[in-house]
Amino acid sequence: MAGMAQRSPEGNGRTVLVVGGAGFIGGYLVAALHRHGWRVLRAVRPKEHALADDERACDLMAMQRPEDWRPLLDGVDAVVNAAGILREEGGQTFEAVHVAAPLALAHACVDRGVKRFVQVSALGLPEDGPFIASKHRFDEQLTALAVSSVVLRPSVVYSVSGSYGGTSLLRALAGFPGAQWLPGDGRWQVQPVAAEDVGELVARAVDGTVSGTYEVGGPAPMSLHDYQRQWRRWLRVPGERVVAVPEACVSLAVSVMEAVGRGPVGRTMWRMLRRGNTTAPEAADRLEASFRLRPRTLAEALAQAPSQVQDRWQAQLYFLAPALRWAVVALWLLSALAGCVTPAADILRLSSGTPLAAWDPIMLARAGGVADLLLGLWLASGWRPRAAIGAMLLLLVAYTLMLGGMVPALWWDPLGGMAKNLVLLPALAVLWVLTERR
């Protein structure tokens, strides 16, 4: 990165509040601000456990007035807003999260004399969708207030050290074994920018005095095909074959994701991609003139951080994690069906002559079937998946110890009914780990 600063002494003793500091991009902003010597406070959603020393509770849906923000601004010299949602869900709306709450924060900054406000927005056009439209509505209102401000509108943001949402999906498609999967024919233009460069740019903007709105992207546009090809080579996944997924199929998948309210890509992102998400021709020159920084090309960023096996794991587990989850759901539902419909005579025959016969095996089979049904539906719902997987692990251990001990013959079942638990237990543990995704 041109002119990367390791530390800016003039930031010493000053405090910056970062809204959205726990997010993917927010983490890189916080790291860059620390490099520049700032004391960073992260405004994050309230948690069940105690907040860290550098965290402040921040519920954007409830903080719609300037007075709601004033306690968070005590001792704060600058504010960075990187909060955002990709789709409306759980009562959260674009208007509240992207406009009303940050506008209340900006007014509170004016009232408290906060000297600098940096807004991390998004590159696009209002007609791309409500995500972009709401971001830009706040941008325009911010620049009209009596506070020194900078608005940064990045294109596709990536990082060699991690990914989020659509960039996770694109990396997984690039690293797919056997062939690279490409949305459409890959002709669409993007101008990707490294999250590390965005972080450095934000830190310099906080330190500076220039105002205005800046588009942020790599030095030049590139096709999605080229973007994917470079990631595949960086991941060191063999094969140059490309499978082009028809636009209609991608549009259908996006519509399904929108309908269920989940998934890494929404209609806004899909429109932006097809239209092309690129900056104005003079954008890079403006950034260099104002902040003495010109973002790196994707090739430069990838060359500066060679991939490791963990990067291939992340890319190639992207599709395996949900596949494993739904396989576990299917197994638990089939187990529930077996427990509930197996004839009583068969249950008595299997338990005859074993300690299990004294435990009312029919009742145990039916109760186990109901438990399996509830756990399978719980995991399918997506609500607190780690708790559901933990309960499955405990139940499976109980099944294995109780049935394996009371009916030893089950271990020698030719189909391996009990022996399969030795594989299923670590598979559940792996799924527990993989539920933490961006």
Provide mean pLDDT across the span 384-392. 97
pLDDT in tens, 294-321: 999 999 999 999 999 999 999 999 999 9
Taking 60 as the threshold, does the pLDDT of residue 3 lie above it? no
Distance, in Å, from the CA atom of 121 to the CA atom of 202, rounded to the nearest integer, reads: 12
Instruction: Mean pLDDT check: name the lowest of 36-45, 93-102, 413-422.
Output: 413-422
Band of pLDDT at residue 12, cut at 50, 70 and 90: low
Provide mean pLDDT across the span 163-167. 91
Residue 48 confidence (pLDDT): 75
Provide mean pLDDT across the span 123-130. 94
| Both structure tokens of 376 | 């399978």
Distance, in Å, from the CA atom of 402 to the CA atom of 15, rounded to the nearest integer, reads: 58
Answer with the residue of higher pLDDT: 407 or 109. Answer: 109
Taking 90 as the threshold, does the pLDDT of residue 76 lie above it? yes
The one-character DSSP state at 160 is T
Beta-bridge mates of residue 120 = 152
pLDDT in tens, 142-159: 999 999 999 999 999 999
Q: Which residues contact 402 (CB under 8 A, 6 or more apart)?
A: none
Environment class of residue 351 by beta-carbon count within 10 Å: exposed (0-12), middle (13-18) or buried (19+)? Answer: buried
Beta-bridge mates of residue 358 = none
Taking 50 as the threshold, does the pLDDT of residue 435 lie above it? yes
Band of pLDDT at residue 402, cut at 50, 70 and 90: confident
Residue 10 confidence (pLDDT): 46
Band of pLDDT at residue 8, cut at 50, 70 and 90: very low
Contact 265, 254 (CB under 8 A): yes
Exposure of 264 in the CB half-sphere (CA atoms within 13 A): 17
Distance, in Å, from the CA atom of 403 to the CA atom of 322, rounded to the nearest integer, reads: 30
Residue 353 confidence (pLDDT): 82
What is the residue type of 112? R
Distance, in Å, from the CA atom of 135 to the CA atom of 152, rounded to the nearest integer, reads: 11
Answer with the residue of higher pLDDT: 118 or 349. Answer: 118
Taking 60 as the threshold, does the pLDDT of residue 187 lie above it? yes
Residue owning tokens 């430069």: 300
Provide mean pLDDT across the span 264-270. 89
* Nearest-10 crossing angle of helices 267-275, 130-143: 80
Band of pLDDT at residue 5, cut at 50, 70 and 90: very low
Q: What percent of the chain has pLDDT over 90?
A: 81
The one-character DSSP state at 246 is P
Instruction: Mean pLDDT check: name the lowest of 177-181, 252-256, 413-417, 426-430.
Output: 413-417
The whole model's pTM is what?
Answer: 0.89
Taking 80 as the threshold, does the pLDDT of residue 417 lie above it? no
Cβ count within 10 A of residue 158: 27
Residue 4 confidence (pLDDT): 43
> Nearest Cα to 58, choosing from 33, 77, 76, 41?
41
> Nearest Cα to 94, choosing from 53, 128, 51?
128
Band of pLDDT at residue 139, cut at 50, 70 and 90: very high
CATH architecture of 9-159+191-219+278-307: 3-Layer(aba) Sandwich (3.40)
pLDDT in tens, 30-45: 999 999 999 999 999 8
Contact 142, 107 (CB under 8 A): no
Q: What is the DSSP string of 36-97?
A: TT-EEEEEE---SSPPPTTEEE--TTT--SHHHHGGGGTT--EEEE----SS--TT--HIII
Provide mean pLDDT across the span 343-358. 85
Environment class of residue 316 by beta-carbon count within 10 Å: exposed (0-12), middle (13-18) or buried (19+)? Answer: middle
Provide mean pLDDT across the span 326-344. 95
Band of pLDDT at residue 127, cut at 50, 70 and 90: very high
Distance, in Å, from the CA atom of 435 to the CA atom of 380, rounded to the nearest integer, reads: 13
Residue 261 confidence (pLDDT): 81
Contact 43, 21 (CB under 8 A): yes
- Average pLDDT of the chain? 92
